[in-house]
Structures are given as C-alpha cells and as structure tokens.
Structure 1
Amino acid sequence: MLGMDTIAKMTERSTCRISFVPTPVRSLRSDAARNRESLLAAAEAEFAEHGLETSVADIARRAGVAKGTVFRHFATKEELIAAVVARYLMTLSDVARRLSDSAEPGAALLEFLTMAADQRQQRDLTLVMSASAEDLHVVQLRDQLHADVGSLVDRARDCGAVRQDITGTDVFLLMCAPVHAVVYLSDPPPDLWRRYLAIIFDGLRPEGAHPLPQPAPNWS
C-alpha cells in the first residue's frame, strides 16, 4: 500500500507536468496564426501579379510552407481567395473608422481615398474581388466598408468640404477610379494616379459645382 508521503510526491510530480501543457498549445496557436498571415500575404501578392491562374503550389512556395499547410488553413482555393479579399476590405474599414473622428472631415476623406488608391496601385485585386463577390462574409464586409465610407462622406458633407448631392455610394464607387484611369498607358509613372485622384476630389468639392445629371444609385 502506498503511504501518504509517496502519494503526495506523485501528485506533486503530476501537477508539475500538467502545468507545462498550455505553453506549447499557445506556441502552436501562434505558429498557426503566423502561417495563416504569411499565406494571405503571399496569396495577395501572387493573385495581384498573376491573376486567378495562380496555383496553390505557387502561393505555398512564396509563403515558404508546404502545400498541405495551405489546405490546413483553407479547404479550397476559393476559400483562400475570399479570405484575401476579406483581409483587404477589413484593412480599408479599419482606416475609415480611424479617420472618422478627425477634426478635419474633408482632409480625412481625402486621406482615406489616397490610402485606398495606393493600396489598389500596389495590389490590384479586381479579378480576385470579382471572383469572391458572392461569398457571404465578403458581402458583409463590403457592406460594412460601404457604411464606413458613408460616415466619412456624411461628415465631410456636413462641414461643407464636399458638395451636398454627393453620397457615400458615389465615393465608394470612385475609390478605384484613380488607379484604373491609367491602366491603358503602357508605362505610367508609379504615382500618376495621384493626378486623377486630385481631379476626382476637386469634382467632389462644392466650389463651382453644377447639378449632376442622374441621382445617386442605391446600395443593395
């Protein structure tokens, strides 16, 4: 029969062993989070450079992981595409919300549009966004971004920084326009889109504004 001292020592040893279990679990979770972020960054770069023809193997190679690691995080390529778009939309929403309490709403709106165009110039995800247009999570995030942009526009309009007939939907639809304005040039300067952003933003200002020929579209 085991004595009480022996049982106490065994219990103490067992407790010590158990107390170390959470550490590797946390480490594994951190590794998984880092791998997922690396995969999303690699996928975004590959899709922007090579379009939807990019293979999962190419993405894994760029991220420095095995192909199987990709499928441990994303069951299908379509799921990975949706995750890339979701990450992009959340980044823009975060910026819009950060600027929403700016003391200068007009400058805040211009800063947001500059950041959005710069992001698009660096990583054109037009085809990827079209491919994930029906994904429920992407739709929800797109609607959230639309609302966040609308809040910026409302504040800018209320303080007279943009014309009274401009809506959040107008500005949301113009976000990509500065970059797309130069796509037909064979070798445009990297920052040429800034010229067209300035032209667009001047068109939003109330000075010298003329009535618009059509009402703003509804967002649905």
Structure 2
Amino acid sequence: MSKPLRADARRNRERVLEAAQDVFAAEGVGAPTEAVARRAGVGIGTVFRHFPTKEALLEAVLVERLRGLAEHARAAYAEPDAGAALFGFLEHVVAQSAAKNAFADALAGAGVDVSSVFGEVRAELLGAVEALVLRARDAGALRPDVGPVEVVAVLVGASHAARWAPEAARARTVAVVLDGLRAKR
C-alpha cells in the first residue's frame, strides 16, 4: 500500500494532470511530455515521478475524464426535468467522446489493456448513467422498452456516428440517433 502524498506533491500531481488534459486536447495525445511539464510549471522529473511513462499519464487523464463524466451524470440527476437531464448528459458524452477515444486508442496502441484501466471508475460511471436512465424512463421521457444497457450501446454508436459525420452534420446526426431513445408522445 502506498503512503498518501504530501500536500505539495498532491498539488503538483493535480497540476500535471490538468496541464496534460489541456496539452493533449490542444495538441493531441502525441504531444511531448515536456510540453505537459512546461504547462504545469514543473520540471520533467516531477512529471515522471508521478507518472513513470507517458502511457501512465494518458491512463490517469483518461480515468479523470471518466470520473468527470460520472460527476456530470450525478449533477444531471439533480435537474428537475429527468428527460432533459438524460439527453443533455448523453449529448455531453458524445461531445467528449473524440478525446476519450484518442486516449483509449493511444493506450491500446501502446499495448495497454484499456478495459483494465477503467476499473472502478467504469462501475461508478455506469451506476450514475443507470440512475439517469431509470429516472428518465420512470418520468416517461425514455422509451419503456429501453434500459441502461441499450442506452450505453446507443451512446457508443452515437459517439462513432459523431466521429464520422461531417462537422456540419454532426449535431443533427447525433440528434437523430438519440431521438430513437425518446418515448413517443
């Protein structure tokens, strides 16, 4: 078991993660680790002390992104309109999917078992999504024959559709896919 980080080390780790998200979003996952260190205002040694390889850094960024999606889902659950909460969350996930997929592809290309990276954060995210789905279905905003498994499958499909649709048609394409989940009124 590893001992907890000192406060300054924890702050440095958080700064590196935040900088990595910014750098990778702006320059892609191929951006050099040195750019992350510069953006974080730390030396390259500090980056490698927390993340011994670039893959470890990419992994940590991906996990943080997924954790952020779980937080977003929990916050959406508190919205008064269950349907708007679910569909707003799904649109948000699709908008984030290109970056998430780039991280996952880079890790897979480096030989990392991406499914093992998700670990507990996957369960956290799926639990938050399930709560949104069941609430929207109970409110009559989601088709009654659709559950969390189908919503996640459609979400994956919508993310791929957004990836391949021309930019001008992306939002409309995603709307068409997600409309298949809506209850008939």
TM-score, scaled relative to structure 1: 0.67
Q: Structure 1: where are the runs of 5+ without partners? A: 1-27, 209-220
| Structure whose alpha-carbon radius of gyration is higher | 1
Look up the SS of the partner of 2:180 in the other structure. helix
Q: Match of 1:149?
A: 129
Q: Structure 2: where are the runs of 5+ without partners? A: 1-5
Q: Match of 1:96?
A: 73
Aligned partners of 1:105 and 1:156 also within 8 Å: yes
Aligned partners of 1:163 and 1:204 also within 8 Å: yes
In 1, distance between residues paired with 2:162 and 2:71? 27
The amino acid that maps onto 2:100 is L
Q: Match of 2:28?
A: 50
Higher relative contact order (CA 8 A, sep 6+): 2
Q: Deviations 1:23-79 (Å, cap 9, x if unpaired)?
A: xxxxx72x434332221122223434333x333223223333211010222233232
The amino acid that maps onto 1:135 is S
Q: Match of 2:36?
A: 59
Of stretches 150-159 and 110-119 in structure 1, the one that deviates more from structure 2 is 110-119
Query: Would you say how many aligned residue pairs link Structure 1 and Structure 2?
Result: 173
Q: Match of 1:125?
A: 100
Aligned partners of 1:102 and 1:108 also within 8 Å: yes
Per-residue deviation at 1:84? 0.5
Percent identical: 37
The amino acid that maps onto 1:148 is A
Distance 1:185 1:108, change over 3 A: closer
1:110 aligns with 2:90: no
Aligned partners of 2:144 and 2:183 also within 8 Å: yes
Aligned partners of 1:95 and 1:112 also within 8 Å: yes
In 1, distance between residues paired with 2:63 and 2:85? 23
The amino acid that maps onto 2:28 is H
Q: Normalized per residue, which structure has more helix?
A: 2
1:170 aligns with 2:150: yes
Distance 1:184 1:93, change over 3 A: closer
In 1, distance between residues paired with 2:86 and 2:161? 20
Q: Match of 1:212?
A: none
1:39 aligns with 2:16: yes
Per-residue deviation at 1:193? 3.2
Q: Deviations 1:167-186 (Å, cap 9, x if unpaired)?
A: 21222233354453244466
Per-residue deviation at 1:88? 0.5
Q: Deviations 1:152-176 (Å, cap 9, x if unpaired)?
A: 1111112211112212122223335
In 1, distance between residues paired with 2:95 and 2:164? 18
